Amino acid sequence: MSGALAGLVILAIGDSQMMNMLTNLHNQLEDAGAVVYSYAVCGSTPQDWISPSVTSCGTGEHADKAPVVIQQGSRPTWNINNLIAQDHPNLILVELADTMAGYGAQMELPWIHQQINGLTGRIAATHISCVWVGPAWGQDSGPYHKTVARVQEMSQLLSSSVAPCAYIDSTTFSRPGEWQTKDGGHLEPDAYRKWAMAITASVVKLKGQGALGAH
């Protein structure tokens, strides 16, 4: 895939799942020819990337060729418009699903739609191409109660709600339970590596189909 993403400057944002892929996904997109700026806010929802807020469980950043920076504890979040102005992307990659999915509780559909529409609206106003990465399978164990049914429900909701972003369906990358987790919600390192590879391959495919412009 070397050079397949040449011409793309990718701004990647996400939650704790992205924090675990700040090296893998970033480097794989880079190896495919893109310039990449990756940011992760633990426990974040789309609204946290629009309005100033504070996370209690840390942030991570991997800007282009600079080293990965992980900041633990209480940290301010980033604003999507400020990141766009700073990094000048022509593709935005969003990995935000698990925090909205309400594992172990009811899904709050009006709130979820408000979250998604807030961020997609902000991105649409910039006329920058975007892709939204849906949730990967977890295991219904540990504190997260990440059931197969809820992951399917969240993935289907995102697939029909994230336009104008293209949707990457992570449930197609493995069978339920195939990728091992540390705590039911967060994957083991080898599974994160596979997820990052699959996301990168999906972005390459979308670009090849002309779905992503290098503006």
CATH of the domain at 115: 3.40.50.1110
* 125 in any annotated domain: yes
Is pLDDT above 90 for 2? no
CB 61 within 8 A of CB 48: no
* 140 in any annotated domain: yes
Residues 6+ apart with CB under 8 A from 21: 14, 38, 95, 192, 195, 196
d(CA 209, CA 211): 5
Range of the domain at 63: 9-208
User: Mean pLDDT for the chain?
Assistant: 94
Summarize pLDDT for 21-71 with one digit per residue, the tens.
999 999 999 999 999 999 999 999 999 999 989 999 999 999 999 999 999
* 14 in any annotated domain: yes
- With CA atoms as reference, report the closest residue to 181 among 129, 143, 154: 143
Model pLDDT, residue 128: 97
* 3 in any annotated domain: no
* 62 in any annotated domain: yes
**Taking the mean position of all CA atoms in its chain, how far away is CA 167?**
11
Q: What percent of the chain has pLDDT over 70?
A: 98
d(CA 146, CA 103): 6
Number of domains into which the chain is organized: 1
DSSP string, 101-155: H-TTS---HHHHHHHHHHHHHHHHTTT-EEEEE-PPP--S-TTS---HHHHHHHH
Residue 11: which pLDDT band, with cuts at 50, 70 and 90?
A: very high
d(CA 147, CA 140): 5
Is pLDDT above 80 for 184? yes
* 181 in any annotated domain: yes
pTM for the full predicted model: 0.96
Summarize pLDDT for 85-104 with one digit per residue, the tens.
999 999 999 999 999 998 88
Summarize pLDDT for 45-54 with one digit per residue, the tens.
999 999 989 9
* 116 in any annotated domain: yes
CB 131 within 8 A of CB 91: yes
CB 36 within 8 A of CB 7: no
Model pLDDT, residue 1: 60
d(CA 158, CA 14): 15
More confident residue, 158 or 213: 158
* 53 in any annotated domain: yes
